[in-house]
Chain A
Amino acid sequence: MKFTSYIRLMIAALMLVSATAAMAQGETKLEKIETTAEREDGNYDPKPAIMEHIADSHEFDILEMAQIPLPCILISKESGVTTFLYAEGKEVNGYKCEEGKIVKEDGAFFLDMSITKNVFTMLLAAIILIVIFTSVAGAYKKNHGKAPKGLQALVEPLFVFIRDDVAKPNIGPKYEAYLPYIMTIFFFILMLNLLGLLPIFPGGANVTGNIAFTMVLAIVAFLAINVSGTKHYWGHIFWMPGVAVPMKLFLAIIEVIGLFTKPIALMVRLFANMTAGHIIVLSLISLIFVFGKAGESMAGSGVGAAIAVPFALFISTIEVLVAFIQAFIFAMLTATFIGLALEDHSEGHHTVD
């Protein structure tokens, strides 16, 4: 009881944080990548560098020294599928590589299915997870009836935790059918979060802080929740039993809005938390350049570093925690929503007295 109320409080707090973070982003309009790092008054402007790190890219940058070009796959109505390796300034088949972006010279719509930094990282995370879990599954076969060891012993507590504390109590007796989904949410988000915290190749991609990625997770969650909805669940949404008819209509509107706010909250929470973490670390690192006036003052850089490094380390450590917490919360809330959709008449039935 104490634990669940704690979780609820934590979730409420995180929702608040997510909402404010999202609003702040809306206000500051961090939209355009500016090419100049220096402002007109000669001071260092950290915004372009931060935005570049957070954004997706067609190149994998290693410590600003080498760029690994990634394959571009572009689909459009006129020219079909076009593939090439990205290179700045390159022009292929009416497409042009421009400042890290690809534009079509006639301005028409095209679908950019390139293996970008984020897509590459997703594939990498997927491969790492497949290797880990198939080898662990093999270990269970090999060590049959024995105590777990090695990687198996590392994965087992997490697996058992998600099964026993996330899936089983929240989804209920039918949890087994949803287990692969909930497990994949947790481990995929966790792996991407942790890869995102690595400062150099092959990490550093802000996948879980990308709105497209969290949107996909939210859409899948929306489908999983509503496809498993029982008659009872839909009844409570469109025709709330036990209240007067005007109230039924009023509640139906609220409940229908609620159908969409749940996955949207999931989407925004993960996106905002991970992006905020990356922005904080990058902002702290930027302090070195802000204090050093973009390389003019070595003493300033020293002061900046003295302040920035301990803080960045502190925030990075917290980010490791956040990587786990966000993966846990996404899995937890998805399981809870599915459990609510699966709930049957037996519990929480309202009656008029």
Chain B
Amino acid sequence: MNTVLLAADAFSLVKPDPGMAIWALIIFVLLILILGKFGFKPIANSLKERENSIADSLAQAERARAEMASLTAKNEDLLNQAREERNKILAEARDAAEKIKAEILDKAQAESAKKLSDAMREIDTQKKAAIVEIKNTVGQMALQIAEKVVRKDLASDSAQKELVEKLVKETNAN
């Protein structure tokens, strides 16, 4: 009877119940195993994977930005180089044009000078030829006049006068 009472009195806040403790141990250990395998491990792995992928993406973005910066710098360099090249080419072209212009001008001047001197010479020869011709013509005319004068009878003074005047007229008319 006494032992029954003791058993009935058994509940105490600070006295662990062995059955409950065994159940708690079984459930707790199984829960660690089950949750560990099917819950926490996959979740932890997924989270880690996601964190890694985010870190990777950030690193990649950083790399891409650095690459972009270097590319821009390179482009700038290339552009500057091209600009210099262009300026050089332009300067060269200008020089060449200047030179060609000067050459052409020189040539043209030389040509025109030659043409002028040729023309002068031509004019000179023509003039000489013309003078020779005039001389010839005048000579002939004088001879003709002289011939006519000699042929006419120079009897009277009046007749002579008349003749001279007529001849002069004729020559003038020529």
A170 on the B face (CB < 8 A): no
B173 on the A face (CB < 8 A): no
- A137:B42 contact, CB within 8 angstroms: yes
Query: A219 to B50, alpha carbons, bound, how many Å?
Result: 36
* Residue among A22, A105, A113, A188 making CB contact with B31, cutoff 8 Å: A188
Bitwise, A1-40 to B at CB < 8 A (1) or not (0) is 0000000000000000000001001100011110000000
Which B residues are CB-close (under 8 A) to A30?
Answer: 13
Interface hit among B1-9, B75-83, B105-113, B156-164: B1-9
Known: A216-B24, A216-B25. A129 touches B35 (CB 8 A): yes
* Residue among B6, B20, B43, B46 making CB contact with A116, cutoff 8 Å: B20
CB distance from A81 to the nearest CB of B (A): 12
Query: A345 to B24, alpha carbons, bound, how many Å?
Result: 37
Tally of contact residues, B, Cβ under 8 A:
43
CB distance from B21 to the nearest CB of A (A): 4
* Residue among A123, A145, A211 making CB contact with B53, cutoff 8 Å: A145
Query: A220 to B25, alpha carbons, bound, how many Å?
Result: 8
* Residue among B3, B30, B35, B53 making CB contact with A133, cutoff 8 Å: B35
Bitwise, B161-173 to A at CB < 8 A (1) or not (0) is 0000000000000
A323 on the B face (CB < 8 A): no
- A212:B40 contact, CB within 8 angstroms: no
Query: A81 to B137, alpha carbons, bound, how many Å?
Result: 175
Q: Which residue of A lies closest to B10 (CB)?
A: A101
A312 on the B face (CB < 8 A): no
Bitwise, B70-93 to A at CB < 8 A (1) or not (0) is 000000000000000000000000
- B31:A98 contact, CB within 8 angstroms: no
CB distance from B29 to the nearest CB of A (A): 7
* Residue among B16, B30, B34, B41 making CB contact with A212, cutoff 8 Å: B16
Bitwise, A183-223 to B at CB < 8 A (1) or not (0) is 11001100000000000000000000011110111011000
Which A residues are CB-close (under 8 A) to B44?
Answer: 159, 163, 176, 179
Known: A103-B7, A176-B44, A211-B14. A216 touches B32 (CB 8 A): no
Q: Which 9 A-B pairs have the closest CB atoms?
A: A133-B39, A180-B36, A107-B3, A140-B46, A212-B16, A137-B42, A112-B19, A212-B20, A216-B24
Residue positions of A touching B, CB distance < 8 A: 22, 25-26, 30-33, 51, 54-56, 98-99, 101, 103-105, 107, 111-114, 116, 118-119, 122-123, 126, 129-130, 132-134, 136-137, 140-141, 144-145, 155-156, 159-160, 163, 176, 179-181, 183-184, 187-188, 210-213, 215-217, 219-220, 275
